[in-house]
Amino acid sequence: MRDFIENMPKAELHVHIEGTLEPELSFALAEKNNIPLPFPSPEALIAAYDFHDLPSFLKIYYAGMSVLIEEEDFYRLTWDYLEKAASQNIVYTELFFDPQGHTTRGVAFETVITGIHKAQMAAKEKLGIDSQLILCFLRDMSAESAMTHLRMAEPYLDWLVGVGLDSDELNNPPVKFKEVFSLARQWGLKLTMHCDVNQKNTQEHITQVLDDIQVDRIDHGVNALESDALCEKIKAKQLGLTVCPVSNRFVVQSLTSNEIKAMLEKGLLATINSDDPAYFRAYLNENFIALQEEGHFSKDQLLTLAGNAFKVAWLESDEKEHYLSKLNAYAQTAVA
């Protein structure tokens, strides 16, 4: 099963580029940029990763960003992730980035997006991995700040495929950002939002992303399973759910394998993703492998999960067909 998973052509649709910052790179950038780190070594930094809910993770995640200063830092961050992704047979990925996590520290929007974009172009050319970029707004900041950042992105619309919403969900409902997402839609961007696992008012938030925001995808969305009506709506709209098993385990002590199976049984388009792989110490293959071990997924079920990611990717239909036929060819040779 491990070989089967590792060799399978895959797409990853829920990965925060800042969440791919490996401790070794963090130390290298800290030294280059003269930024003191409160730990003596990358190992000590990893040992301090103590996540048990969303806020405890976010605290460490935002502190980690402090070493990212220059365009070349964002380039290196993105290049390293794309190189790792290519080595895991990820052929296509949609990356989130959190500009407000940088502009609030005095790093220009242009610096961030240019470094990421140049690495995406280089990885396409040199590694053959294709990627698109999603601008995420921090939901614990104001709607005004989100709007300011959307306007900052206007000159770079060709570099973006969509907008997302992340950070602390508590008392930050989707409708807070209705106007921003509506403008993003007018500009031709796709829309997604996090509905993190086991959040307060989760049913209400999922209802809002469906009815008020009219998203094109939902990030996480596991709690939709508690409502037949929400499941029906998600199914009718054929929305993808980007589930992140290892990330969820920090909150619910399970890889949500039962929930992912239930999604497949209901015909929901669940996909598997790594979320913040450097922090959760698991890239996409490790997520698939752990999930398979916990839930004893069959090869057919794993192929369905991988296929769903290509189906709900923000690509033209001929590009989706290209990747799906690649996956199909793999299935022909690899399923005994």
Q: Which does 132 bind (CB under 5 to 8 A by kind): ligand HPA, Zn ion, none?
A: none
CB count within 10 Å of CB 174 equals: 24
Indicate the residue among 283 and 330 with the shorter CB distance to Zn ion: 283
Which region among 255-263, 267-275, 289-297, 301-309 touches Zn ion (by CB under 5 A)? Answer: 267-275
SS3 at position 21: coil
**Shortest Cβ distance from residue 116 to ligand HPA (Å)?**
15
Locate 142 and state its tokens.
Answer: 């104001």
**CB-based contacts of 133, cutoff 8 Å, min separation 6:** 94, 95, 97, 113, 116, 117, 120, 159, 160, 161
Q: Is position 275 an interface residue for Zn ion (rule: CB under 5 A)?
A: yes
In whole angstroms, how large is the CA radius of gyration of the chain?
A: 19
Q: Which does 19 bind (CB under 5 to 8 A by kind): ligand HPA, Zn ion, none?
A: ligand HPA
Indicate the residue among 122 and 290 with the shorter CB distance to Zn ion: 290
**Shortest Cβ distance from residue 112 to ligand HPA (Å)?**
15
Indicate the residue among 8 and 12 with the shorter CB distance to ligand HPA: 12
Residue number, nearest CB to ligand HPA = 166
**Shortest Cβ distance from residue 79 to ligand HPA (Å)?**
20
Locate 15 and state its tokens.
Answer: 């990965």
- Is the dihedral angle over the CA atoms 154, 158, 159, 162 positive or is it negative? positive
* One-letter identity of residue 60: I
Q: Is position 98 an interface residue for Zn ion (rule: CB under 5 A)?
A: no
CB count within 10 Å of CB 216 equals: 17
**Shortest Cβ distance from residue 73 to ligand HPA (Å)?**
18
Q: Are 126 and 155 in contact (CB under 8 A)?
A: no
**Shortest Cβ distance from residue 219 to ligand HPA (Å)?**
7
Indicate the residue among 137 and 330 with the shorter CB distance to Zn ion: 137
Q: Are 267 and 242 in contact (CB under 8 A)?
A: no
Scan for tokens 């961050």, then name that residue: 77
CB count within 10 Å of CB 66 equals: 17
**Shortest Cβ distance from residue 280 to Zn ion (Å)?**
10
d(CA 5, CA 320): 20
Indicate the residue among 92 and 280 with the shorter CB distance to Zn ion: 280
Q: Is position 12 an interface residue for Zn ion (rule: CB under 5 A)?
A: no
Give the interface with ligand HPA as residue ranges (CB under 6 A). 16, 19, 54, 61, 166-167, 194, 196, 247, 275-276
**Shortest Cβ distance from residue 329 to ligand HPA (Å)?**
33
Indicate the residue among 88 and 242 with the shorter CB distance to ligand HPA: 242
Q: In degrees to the nearest 10, what's the CA dihedral of 180, 216, 289, 18?
A: -20
SS3 at position 125: helix
Q: Which does 196 bind (CB under 5 to 8 A by kind): ligand HPA, Zn ion, none?
A: ligand HPA
SS3 at position 245: helix
> Which stretches of the chain bind Zn ion, using CB under 5 A?
275
